[in-house]
Amino acid sequence: MNAFSDRRVLVTGCCGTVGSELVRQLLEVYGVGELVGIDNNESELFFAQQRFAGRPARFFLADVRDEARLKRLFSGIDIVFHTAAFKHVELCEVSPFEAVQTNIHGVQNVVWAAVENRVRTVVFTSSDKAVNPTNVMGTSKLMGERLMTAANSNLRSGKTVFAATRFGNVLGSRGSVIPIFREQIRKGGPVTLTDPDMTRFIMSIRQAVQLVIDSADIARGGEVFVTKMPVIRIEDLARVMIDDLAPRYGHDPAAVTTEVIGTKAGEKLYEELMTDEETRRSLELARYFVVRPAFLSLYREIDYTYADMISDRVDRPYHSANETPLTQAELRAFLYENNLIEGEAAEPFQPAKRF
Contact call for residues 31 and 1 (beta carbons, < 8 A): no
- Residue 14 Cα to chain centre, angstroms: 13
Report the C-alpha dihedral over residues 132, 88, 74, 291, rounded to 10 degrees.
-20
Q: Is the peptide bond before 190 cis (omega within 30 degrees of 0)?
A: yes
The DSSP code sequence of 128-175 is GGGSS--SHHHHHHHHHHHHHHHHHHHS--SS-EEEEEE--EEETSTT
C-alpha neighbours within 13 Å on the C-beta side of residue 142: 16
The DSSP code sequence of 55-113 is SSEEEEE--TT-HHHHHHHTTT-SEEEE------HHHHHHSHHHHHIIIIIHHHHHHHH
Distances in Å between the alpha carbon of 160 and those of 2, 114, 211, 239? 20, 7, 20, 47
Pairing relationship of beta strands 191-193 and 169-171 according to DSSP bridges: unpaired
Residue type for position 263: T
Q: For the chain, how are helix, strand and coil distributed in percent, rounded to 5?
A: 40, 20, 40
Q: In a 10 Å sphere around its CB, with 0-12 CB exposed, 13-18 middle and 19+ buried, how is residue 100 labelled?
A: middle
Q: Which residues are catalytic?
A: 129
The DSSP code sequence of 36-56 is EEEES-HHHHHHHHHHTTTSS
Task: From 221, 223, 45, select the one nearest 126 (Cα to Cα).
Answer: 223
Q: State how far the Cα of 325 lies from the Cα of 330, in Å rounded to an integer.
A: 9
Which stretches within 267-320 are classed as H helix?
A: 276-279
